[in-house]
Amino acid sequence: MQKPLILVTNDDGITSRGILSLVNVMKELGEVLVVAPNSPQSGMGHAITVGDTLRLNESFLFEGVKAYECSGTPADCVKIARHHILKGQRQPDVVVSGINHGSNTSISVLYSGTMSAAIEGAIEGTPAIGFSLCDYSHKADFSHTSEFVKKITKQVLEKELPKGTALNVNIPPKRNEPIKGIRICRQANAKWVEDFDKRYDPNGRSYFWMTGNFVNFDKGEDNDEWAIANNYVSVVPCQFDLTAHQAIPFLNEEWYILG
């Protein structure tokens, strides 16, 4: 049987430790192609490069693995992999993105370049997974992630995913006790409350750093925030149909301007 073709990308950039960890696991599962940003792209959401050019260069960072670094966003990387590098060739069997340095639970899925790359894969009809480690430290320990990254990717390759679905996988930070298991979750109802730290540059002109606190409003036990807090790996299936279907009847009934 032909080995699966695995497209690997991320948003922390091709030199990050997270993508190296991901590539090392994927080499055990199939043929790997890396197309990742040449600079950090955290918080890029589903941005794409419009009205500007893209650069693409071969990278030799990963032993025995074909790799490219791209000047664009994570979503650009998936697009250029599919429609340029692999144009007219076999397409990936799975797109994996990460491992992100930091949590992408709850509302962070919207701001996450990691997850937007995965969702871009799902838009193209390919099963896709974004992996994040809930540890922002530069020295974060990734050693406990490999087991779960491998299990979940194998499971996806074996059972596929419902069409148009990308998985948002978050892995708890390394703690003293072992991870309890893997839970299928919904996106928690939580958000960031920002603050803007005003400073002055050497010329006396103001600028701001955006900072924020994460606030969890969710009391349920079936969401990704609960899972991480309770030392489970969370898996949220995500879709790219943003329609609030339940709001359609309300608008059709309440609005008098339709016609």
| Footprint (CB under 8 A) of its own copies, residues 186-215 | 186-187, 189, 191, 193-196, 198, 205-210
According to CB under 8 A, which one of 29, 75, 99, 133 is a site residue for its own copies? Answer: 75
Q: Which of 48, 34, 39 is nearest to 6 (CA)?
A: 34
d(C-alpha 30, C-alpha 49), whole Å? 30
Q: Which is nearer to its own copies, 90 or 245 (CB)?
A: 245
Does 182 bind its own copies (CB under 8 A)? Our answer is yes
- How many other C-beta atoms can be found within 10 angstroms of the C-beta atom of residue 59? 18
Q: Is residue 101 at the binding interface for its own copies, with CB under 8 A as the rule?
A: no
CA-to-CA distance for 74 and 209, rounded, in angstroms? 24
Nearest distance, CB of residue 33 and its own copies, angstroms: 16
**Residues from 20 through 39 that contact its own copies (CB under 8 A):** none
Exposed / middle / buried, residue 83 (Cβ in 10 Å: 0-12, 13-18, 19+): exposed
Q: How many residues bind its own copies (CB under 8 A)?
A: 82
- Closer of 1 and 247 to its own copies (Cβ): 247
86 contacts its own copies (rule: CB under 8 A): no
CA-based nearest residue to 77, from 47, 103, 52, 100: 47
Nearest to 121 by CA among 30, 8, 244: 8
Closest separation between CB of residue 83 and its own copies, Å?
4
Residue 176 CB neighbours (<10 A): 4
Query: Which of these segments, 22-30, 58-66, 81-89, 90-98, binds its own copies (CB under 8 A)?
Result: 81-89
Site for its own copies in 39-58 (CB under 8 A): 40, 42-51, 53-56
- Based on CB atoms, which residue is closest to its own copies, 63 or 77? 77
Q: Which stretch binds its own copies (CB under 8 A): 22-30, 92-100, 148-156, 170-178?
A: 148-156
| Site map 113..142 versus its own copies, x via CB under 8 A | ---x--x---xx------------------
5 neighbors 92 (Cβ within 8 angstroms): yes
76 binding its own copies? (CB under 8 A): yes
Candidate residues 110, 178, 215, 220; the one interacting with its own copies per rule CB under 8 A: 110
Q: Between the CA of residue 191 and those of 108, 119, 242, what are the distances in Å?
A: 8, 20, 18
Joined together, the tokens standing for residue 139 give 């020295």
Nearest residue to 112 (alpha-carbon basis) of 129, 92, 91: 129
